[in-house]
Amino acid sequence: MNTLQKSLLANAIFSGLSGIILTVAHVKIATLFNLKNTTVFWVIGVVLLYFTGTIVYEIKKQRKIAVQWIILQDFLWVLGSGIILIFTPFQISTIGNRLIGFIALIVLFMGLNQLSALKKTCKL
């Protein structure tokens, strides 16, 4: 398994576990975030499970454009998290905001790691 495959695998594991947790525990997570609407959490969970499937597929294929799309989605996640933390459009609890920030840092690290591995693999 090369570096790109390992970095994609880390993303798949993290995204998959996050998707399962959000889908199964959406009510508890909404409570933790001090939100009444639980729908957003299970929807994000299901989307993350789909995202995980696309990552697993690319671990085998390693198509440059598809891996770039995965990386872009990671960076968009970080951007969206930043917007939520800066503009606070929802009344999320302090612990919810900290979780958003912490997860965004993990996703940023994974995106940068994948980008670095892709550059080495494709010799850009």
Identify whether the C-beta of residue 4 lies closer than 8 Å to the C-beta of residue 67.
yes
pTM: 0.94
Tens-digit pLDDT profile for residues 68-110:
999 999 999 999 999 999 999 999 999 999 999 999 999 999 9
Scanning the chain, the segments in alpha helix (DSSP H) are 3-24, 26-32, 39-61, 64-87, 94-122
Q: Which residues contact 112 (CB under 8 A, 6 or more apart)?
A: none
Find the domain containing 44 and state its range.
3-122
Tens-digit pLDDT profile for residues 33-82:
999 999 999 999 999 999 999 999 999 999 999 999 999 999 999 999 99
Give the number of domains in the chain: 1
